[in-house]
Structure 1
Amino acid sequence: MNIIETLEREQIAKLNATRQVPDFQPGDTLQVNVKVVEGERSRVQAYEGVCIARSGAGINENFTVRKISYGEGVERVFPVYSPMIESVKVVRRGKVRRAKLYYLRDRRGKAARIVERAETAEAKTARIEAKAAKKKNAKTAAATAAAAAE
């Protein structure tokens, strides 16, 4: 492995420590919370749409999200590890058989629908277990904080 790949992996690990990027693929409906700077003020803006492509690798990985805003198609390309992205949430998982969904650009309304992917039993149990573990960790953290406060 060369030096550049090593540095990229270190940067990705550092960025993943601060915020977790969920596992998503084209066809999934995403809600991307983007930091918007207007003059001296900054705020978080939600951008929700269908992921139509993922490209690049490593630190240079991008994904394209398409939404219809006031009857007009709007696409935005986000770098996965950009500091301007506060969070990415998978709203709905889509079932598609392509890696690039550029054909959705020519379709409107019901023709542009994507079938929802059924969740497997293993994925469902893993999701429930992860939720329970997160809840348990929150309780222990709260108990530790309460004990430290006394």
Structure 2
Amino acid sequence: FAAGDTVNVHVKIREGNKERVQVFQGTVIQRRNPNTNGETFTVRKISNGVGVERIFPILSPNIEKIEVTRFGKVRRARLFYLRGRQGKAARVKERKVVKVKAPVATVVA
């Protein structure tokens, strides 16, 4: 996944001695320190009209899984300009992903 993609981050939350999984869904606005052990990514979402950003380490044991729900079409690595936009102006265009089918082998008799 990259900046502009919409992701579901499944985060383990500890409450006392119980543990549950909470989903944080939003748009990735940056990835820092790529290809290192300290790599992090920032996800932004709007919750009750308030912008919420959360920074996740890629290798955190508290992240159960990361699902990409939508691929964004952007021309930047950092999307901080989304912070100043509201409503439909903060949308990111969708990148169409074409899945190539394997060619079918024909049997010549």
TM-score normalised by length of structure 2:
0.89
> Which aligned pairs between 1:32-71 and structure 2 lie closer than 5 A?
32-57=9-34, 58-71=36-49
Structure 2 segments unaligned to the other structure (5+ residues): 103-109
* Partner Cα separation in structure 2 for residue 91 and residue 108 of structure 1: 21
Higher relative contact order (CA 8 A, sep 6+): 2
Total equivalences in the alignment? 101
Q: Which has the larger radius of gyration?
A: 1
Between the aligned residues of both structures, percent identity stands at 54
Structure 1 segments unaligned to the other structure (5+ residues): 1-23, 130-150
Q: CA deviation at 1:118?
A: 1.4
The structure 1 residue matched to 2:50, chosen from 63, 72, 77, is 72
Q: CA deviation at 1:63?
A: 0.2
* Partner Cα separation in structure 2 for residue 47 and residue 83 of structure 1: 16
* Partner Cα separation in structure 2 for residue 75 and residue 113 of structure 1: 16
What amino acid sits opposite 1:50 in the alignment? T
Runs of 4+ more than 3 Å apart = none
Please state which structure has a larger fraction of its residues in helix.
Answer: 1
* Partner Cα separation in structure 1 for residue 97 and residue 17 of structure 2: 44
Please state which structure has a larger fraction of its residues in strand.
Answer: 2
Match of 1:27 in 2: 4
- Aligned-residue RMSD, C-alpha: 1.1
Match of 2:105 in 1: none
